[in-house]
Amino acid sequence: MDFTQTHFELFGLPQSYALDRNQLDAAYRELQNTVHPDRFAAQPDAEQRVAMQWATQVNEAYQTLKHPVSRGVYLLKLQGIDAFDASNTKMAPAFLMQQMEWREVIEEARAGKSMAALDALTDDLRAAHRRIEAHLAELIDTAHDFAAASEAVRQLRFMDKLIAEVGDVYEELET
Amino acid sequence: MALLQIAEPGMSTAPHQHRLAVGIDLGTTNSLVATVRSGLAVVLDDEAGHSLLPSVVRYCASGDVEVGYAAQAAQNSDPHNAITSVKRFMGRGIADIDDIASLPYRFVDAPGMVQLKTATGVKSPVEVSAEILKVLRQRAEVAMGGELVGAVITVPAYFDDAQRQATKDAAQLAGLNVLRLLNEPTAAAIAYGLDNASEGVYAVYDLGGGTFDISILKLSKGVFEVLATNGDSALGGDDFDQRVFCWIVEQGRFQPLSAGDMRLLLTKARDAKEALTEHTEVRVTAVLSTGEMMDATLTQADFNAMTASLVGKTLTPTRKALRDAGLTVDEVKGVVMVGGSTRMPCIRQAVADFFKQTPLTNLDPDKVVALGAAMQADVLAGNRVGDDWLLLDVIPLSLGLETMGGLTEKVIPRNTTIPTARAQEFTTFKDGQTAMSVHVLQGERELASDCRSLARFELRGIPPMVAGAARIRVTFQVDADGLLSVAAREQSSGVEASVQVKPSYGLGDDEITRMLKDAFTHAKDDMYARALNEQIVDAQGLIAATRAAMAEDGMLLDATETAAIETSITALEKLMAGPDHQAIKRGIEALNAATTEFAQRRMDQNVRRAMAGQKLETFG
């Protein structure tokens, strides 16, 4: 296993935030088909151990590239930048305002036990998520503005937390 | 996909020999064994033609052990010693069993896992399960005419690490080589998916005798990828029986019941439930040992009303699984029904309403898991070439550690694809602290006390430093069976500690060894001869595999490396001629160690070839 290889190199993909999901999935399937422990279940221990290490690494690489936040964090890390550096917490006031508004919508939906309001909010949050992703691709791949990209990654993580909170409210209202 | 099979790593040993492998569905109510014969998965019947083996084990005062129908027939007359639904106790403590008051067993509280007092002594649920597995193993060996290479054993997807480990221990005790623990819904998906050549997102709704699982899978080009799984490992047909049982007791205005009468009424309850699958009402009558009687009619409408909350309890995990997969009901192409309890009309209706489509029921819900497991066993044993498939499964519950203030810190979140490894760094909180206690947890709750405790171990010998200076890296590794091992290492000094997450609950290796010894003494088997024989067979297999690998990829080794491997082979061959099975085992380990680097290079080569094929396919 070559530990100097990037996750992008492992899957034979260009190093960019914009991602051809079909290509990633196909390469992932191909690699797991080759290295998965199920392919070595009848083989000696040495081969089974190597297979487990490889499959673990391939899973880790796939999960990192698949998720919008971790892919951004990883690309910035390759540039030597820590997107969640404690000294770097800048966030646009407009974005924070929007966050507060969304949180109010969640609270209202919870108080009013309104599934319809949660459904509508989920659609809004997912749309906003996609917009930030598109912006992030531009910042990293075209503008190479890594400071702004770090902020966009932090925004995406905020969005993920909000979406998870909506999930908790769904759960609360269902039971 | 043809392009991808340039190097078939599983095929280097004895390609022409069909290896005998089975799939076993170790169920709460019934168990089955299946295999692949001439390319077709079939359930193996016993001599009387029964496919199902009731999961009932009776310990007779004579010392005999009955399993299956005989044990089931005796459950009313001998309720303490005829153990049913033992799967519900696997990897569970007394506090975990909700309905303990209405169960006719003599429970013994034991650290980690509850035990049962029987006519032939105290038995662990692992031992009871092993009796069931032994009968299935013998059934398979008779039917197939030889010793098994290995077995795939199914477990509920929502089983935690303790329950999985207990299942693997039971298989080991029954003398089975476990090729893989396979999640039941995933096994069902194989049987369905391959039958119907499906592509797209499927939900598997699996309601068994004592467990409920919901799995969301994506089927694509021969890959079964589990996107999310959820469930309730203490919800199943037994709970529906309990509701009817309570109704019967109420109707008969019965006083506190003897164990025998309790068993009798539970059986009546189950019969009534099953009758309501076909009929809109059923007459229930019972005469107790005290002479008390009851005679009443139960309608399907009454039954539906008294079990509605149980049906509802399956839909909450179903919603969670869909949310975790990031999908809506409309994106689910089909819903597969698994488990005998999905025969209940109220379940079928609820599932149809929820998913807005008629669920798939064309395969026998009692057999589909065993059939899928047999198909997977066939792949894992290396019997298929070229047309096999791949399973990518997940862990059902988050794994984590207890941190300051009794809180849970998640290290691996639920629904992470396995195998997987994650590391987290911790530090000391006191000046001069030289030890750190590591408490491994599983579950979703924030408080450590609300999660399942899997293991505790200590990392000692940390060099004294100021608080916060030590860097302790805790690594979690989950293997392809979904089993966890944990290691801790202080980074500056290299002090290490690790644990195969096992001894704190379930059974230690010593305990397994003792049980094996007991089992063999009882059977008057020569344990030593058997151990020797097993090691020789393993050694032969390893040498054959190593020679095949060298014939194929010998160019990856230089002369010195080839010579070193040859030396290890010769040494092992010499030990095989001797009487010492421990020495052979060490020889096997030595040869494995000597070939690790070779295995790495072979894998690197396989990956290069696969990715070259991938490029051709993508760009060609």
Band (B193; pLDDT cuts 50, 70, 90): confident
Residue-level pLDDT at B615: 57
Q: Which residue(s) pair with B53 in the sheet?
A: B31
The one-letter amino acid code at B60 reads: C
Would you say residue B386 has pLDDT above 70? no
Residue-level pLDDT at B512: 56
Token couple for A70: 């971790």
Band (B221; pLDDT cuts 50, 70, 90): confident
Of A38, A47, A167, the CB nearest to B379: A38
Residue reference for tokens 């992470």: B416
3-state secondary structure of B612: helix
Give, for B336, the enclosing helix (H) or strand (E). Answer: strand B334-338
pLDDT in tens, B110-136: 877 899 999 999 999 999 999 999 999
3-state secondary structure of B488: strand
| Closest chain A residue by Cα to residue B221 | A29
Q: Which of B66, B127, B184, B388 is catalytic?
A: B184
Distance from CA of A62 to the nearest CA of B (A): 10
CB-based contact B292:B254 (threshold 8 Å):
yes
Q: Which of B46, B66, B78, B87 is catalytic?
A: B87
Residue-level pLDDT at B194: 62
Q: Please indicate whether residue B492 or residue B201 has the higher confidence score (pLDDT).
A: B201
Residue-level pLDDT at B88: 92
The one-letter amino acid code at B11 reads: M
pLDDT in tens, A30-52: 999 999 999 998 888 889 999 99
CB-based contact A19:A13 (threshold 8 Å):
yes
Band (B2; pLDDT cuts 50, 70, 90): very low
Candidates B146, B602, B500, B476; CA nearest to A39 is B602
Report the percentage of chain B scoring pLDDT > 90: 64
B324 classed as catalytic: no
Residue-level pLDDT at B107: 92
CB-based contact B41:B191 (threshold 8 Å):
yes
pLDDT in tens, B41-55: 999 999 999 999 999
Residue-level pLDDT at B537: 83
Distance of alpha carbon B557 from alpha carbon B112, whole angstroms: 48
Q: Please indicate whether residue A91 or residue A148 has the higher confidence score (pLDDT).
A: A148
Candidates A48, A13, A9; CA nearest to B602 is A48
Asked if A62's CB is within 8 angstroms of B480's CB, the reply is no
Q: Which residue(s) pair with B295 in the sheet?
A: B285
Token couple for B29: 């109510």
Among A66-75, A88-97, B445-454, the range of highest mean pLDDT: A66-75
Global pTM?
0.87
| Chain A residues closer than 8 Å to B611 by CB | 12, 27, 30-31
Would you say residue B387 has pLDDT above 70? no
Candidates B107, B143, B104; CA nearest to B122 is B107
CA atoms within 13 A on the CB side of B426: 25
CB-based contact B269:B244 (threshold 8 Å):
yes
Token couple for B376: 């997977």
CB-based contact B203:B216 (threshold 8 Å):
yes
Candidates B272, B318, B316, B279; CA nearest to B295 is B272
Distance from CA of B233 to the nearest CA of A (A): 18
List of residues 6+ apart from B551 with CB closer than 8 A? none
Distance of alpha carbon B254 from alpha carbon B417, whole angstroms: 51
Band (B192; pLDDT cuts 50, 70, 90): confident
Distance from CA of A54 to the nearest CA of B (A): 9
Asked if B9's CB is within 8 angstroms of A43's CB, the reply is yes
Residue-level pLDDT at B13: 41
pLDDT in tens, B312-367: 999 999 999 999 998 999 999 999 999 999 999 999 999 999 999 999 998 999 99
Would you say residue B278 has pLDDT above 70? yes
Asked if B593's CB is within 8 angstroms of A42's CB, the reply is no
Asked if A30's CB is within 8 angstroms of B610's CB, the reply is yes
| Chain A residues closer than 8 Å to B616 by CB | none
Candidates B422, B420, B492, B504; CA nearest to B458 is B504
pLDDT in tens, B395-420: 999 999 998 888 999 999 999 999 99
Of B7, B180, B545, the CB nearest to A44: B545
pLDDT in tens, B452-485: 888 888 888 888 888 888 888 889 999 999 999 8
Mean pLDDT of chain B: 88
Other CB atoms within 10 A of residue B162 CB: 25
Q: B473-484: string of b/e by CB count within 10 Å (b at 16+)?
A: ebebbbbbbbbb
What is the interface pTM, i.e. ipTM, of the complex? 0.90
CB-based contact B532:B579 (threshold 8 Å):
yes
| Closest chain B residue by Cα to residue A60 | B420
Q: Which long-range contacts link A148-154 to residues 24+ away (Cβ below 8 Å)? A: A149/A72, A149/A75, A149/A76, A149/A83, A150/A76, A150/A81, A150/A83, A150/A85, A150/A88, A151/A90, A151/A91, A151/A92, A152/A72, A153/A69, A153/A72, A153/A73, A153/A76, A153/A83, A154/A83, A154/A84, A154/A89, A154/A91
Would you say residue B518 has pLDDT above 70? no
Residue-level pLDDT at B197: 66
Residue-level pLDDT at B578: 87
Burial of residue B18, with CB atoms counted within 10 A of its CB: 0-12 exposed, 13-18 middle, 19 or more buried: middle
Other CB atoms within 10 A of residue B271 CB: 14
| Mean of pLDDT values over B249-261 | 88
Pairing label, strands B150-155, B21-26: parallel
Q: Angle at the Cα of B415 (from B182 to B165), degrees rounded to 5?
A: 40
Q: B409-426: string of b/e by CB count within 10 Å (b at 16+)?
A: ebbbebbbbbbbbbebeb
Burial of residue B380, with CB atoms counted within 10 A of its CB: 0-12 exposed, 13-18 middle, 19 or more buried: buried
| Chain B residues closer than 8 Å to A55 by CB | 419, 480
Lowest mean pLDDT among B287-301, B340-354, B533-547: B533-547
Candidates B55, B96, B232; CA nearest to B156 is B232
Report the percentage of chain B scoring pLDDT > 70: 90
Band (B533; pLDDT cuts 50, 70, 90): confident
Residue-level pLDDT at B23: 98
Q: Which of B66, B169, B206, B232 is catalytic?
A: B206
Distance from CA of A145 to the nearest CA of B (A): 30
CB-based contact A166:A106 (threshold 8 Å):
yes
- Work out the end-to-end distance of chain A between its first and last CA atoms, rounded to an integer number of angstroms: 48
Distance from CA of B13 to the nearest CA of A (A): 8
List of residues 6+ apart from B177 with CB closer than 8 A? B148, B149, B150, B151
Mean pLDDT of chain A: 93
Candidates B501, B443, B400; CA nearest to B168 is B501
Chain A residues whose C-beta is within 8 A of a chain B C-beta are 1-2, 12, 23, 25-27, 29-47, 49-52, 54-56, 59-60, 62-63, 167, 170-171, 174-175
Name the DSSP class of B491: T
Token couple for B299: 């309608």
Distance of alpha carbon A68 from alpha carbon A133, whole angstroms: 7
Distance of alpha carbon B167 from alpha carbon B180, whole angstroms: 11
3-state secondary structure of B192: helix
Would you say residue B101 has pLDDT above 90? no
Lowest mean pLDDT among A140-149, B163-172, B376-385: B376-385
Residue-level pLDDT at B256: 85
Asked if A41's CB is within 8 angstroms of B179's CB, the reply is yes
| Mean of pLDDT values over B434-440 | 88
